[in-house]
Amino acid sequence: MPIPTALKAFAGEIDSVLDDLIDRAEGHEAKLFDAMRYAALLGGKRLRPFLVVASADMFLVRRDCSLRVGAAVEMVHAYSLVHDDLPCMDDDDLRRGQPATHKKFDEATAVLAGDTLLTKAFEILGARETHELAEVRSDLVHALAIAAGGHGMTGGQMIDLVAEGQRLEIPEITRLQAMKTGALLAFSCEAGAILGRATHTQRAALHGYAHDLGLAFQIKDDLLDVEGDAAKVGKSVGKDATAGKATFVSILGVDRARQQAQMLADQAIAHLRDFGTDADRLRDVARFVVERDS
């Protein structure tokens, strides 16, 4: 099955798990849960949970377990978008063509919904239903916290805010993106290895794959911002240039950026050499990431 088709089919599956995991509440706190559901179920590619499940499948992990971990990762991703869209951060009113959570509800609710999605992700990873072995649950928690923390996702977001308007060079942009988006993507692939009790070498290979995949993904995003079709991309294009933002494309130019993305995708695939056909799905993802038009 081609990746776009597989992603579409998977979106329904992960949405139903997210829907199950986020309670419906009564009373004054209902608003909080409504906002969490809104933020987590608003759509998106669902690439992170897809990577969790695809990696876990290589080790024959039970699908109900990998789907729970995928849902936890998606909640962390959703929380980061809710907080990033706040007026004091990137100040975006729209997300995927819909009102951002703080516009649909209000800022206070958006802050709390983000906080609670993050908290819920750890609740899921710590729950017995996620894996029978406490060692696995505890490793998942530890690895996710590192990926989402100050040396990972939130640290990357801080750098992005502080560096606004500054001219960053390629090594700095690479580091920023590896933290801001790469760390959670890398966790998504590592989570499959943790769930599957993979060897240290296998886990490192998946980490390497996801690291390169994340950068390829980001460069392609930058390319789509320059040459993409707004209708297909689903958001306004040309935003980076207007904002005077240093991106891979603004520094490398379109041609070299495209070569770089392709090289990273090839490099990502090379990390999978010891996995045989079990890793075909992940190889397809790497090709898809640089070929997509949205």
- Which residues, numbered 100-129, are part of the site for its own copies (CB under 8 A)? 106-109, 111-112, 114-116, 118-120, 122-123, 125-127
The piece of 39-47, 151-159, 188-196, 260-268 that touches its own copies (CB under 8 A) is: 151-159
| Closest C-alpha among 193, 146, 152 to residue 176 | 152
Q: Which is nearer to its own copies, 17 or 124 (CB)?
A: 124
Determine whether 171 is exposed, middle or buried from the number of CB atoms within 10 Å of its CB (0-12, 13-18, 19+): exposed
CB of 168 to its own copies, least distance (A): 9
Q: Which is nearer to its own copies, 188 or 265 (CB)?
A: 188
| Closest C-alpha among 79, 123, 122, 77 to residue 102 | 79
Task: Say how far apart CA 66 and CA 59 lie, in whole Å.
Answer: 11
Q: Is the Cα torsion angle 197, 153, 81, 210 positive or negative in sign? A: negative
Task: Say how far apart CA 283 and CA 269 lie, in whole Å.
Answer: 6
What distances in angstroms separate CA 84 from CA 36, 66, 88, 291, one per listed residue? 15, 27, 8, 27
The 10 Å Cβ neighbour count of residue 138 is 14
Distance, first Cα to last Cα, the chain: 19
| Closest C-alpha among 79, 97, 98 to residue 89 | 79
CB of 56 to its own copies, least distance (A): 19
Structure tokens at 122: 């750890």
Q: Which is nearer to its own copies, 9 or 161 (CB)?
A: 161
Among 94, 161, 243, 254, binds its own copies (CB under 8 A): 161
The piece of 56-64, 142-150, 201-209, 221-229 that touches its own copies (CB under 8 A) is: 142-150
CB of 146 to its own copies, least distance (A): 6
Q: Which is nearer to its own copies, 89 or 237 (CB)?
A: 89
Task: Say how far apart CA 142 and CA 176 lie, in whole Å.
Answer: 22
Q: Which 3 state secondary structure label does DSSP give 199?
A: coil
| CA 220 to the chain's CA centroid | 15
Q: Which is nearer to its own copies, 5 or 166 (CB)?
A: 166
The piece of 13-21, 157-165, 214-222, 260-268 that touches its own copies (CB under 8 A) is: 157-165
Among 46, 68, 137, 292, binds its own copies (CB under 8 A): 137
The site for its own copies, by CB under 8 A, has a size of 56
Q: Which is nearer to its own copies, 6 or 158 (CB)?
A: 158
CB of 73 to its own copies, least distance (A): 13
Question: With binding defined as CB under 8 A, does residue 150 bind its own copies?
Answer: yes
Question: With binding defined as CB under 8 A, does residue 245 bind its own copies?
Answer: no
Over the window 4 to 33, marking each residue x when it contacts its own copies by CB under 8 A and - when it does not, the resulting string is: -------------------x-x-xxx-xxx
Burial 55-82 (b: 16+ CB within 10 A, else e): bbbbbebeeebbbbbbbbbbbbbbbbbb
Instruction: Using CB under 8 A, list all residues that contact its own copies.
Output: 23, 25, 27-29, 31-33, 36, 79, 83, 86, 88-89, 106-109, 111-112, 114-116, 118-120, 122-123, 125-127, 133-135, 137-139, 141-142, 144-146, 148-151, 154-159, 161-163, 179
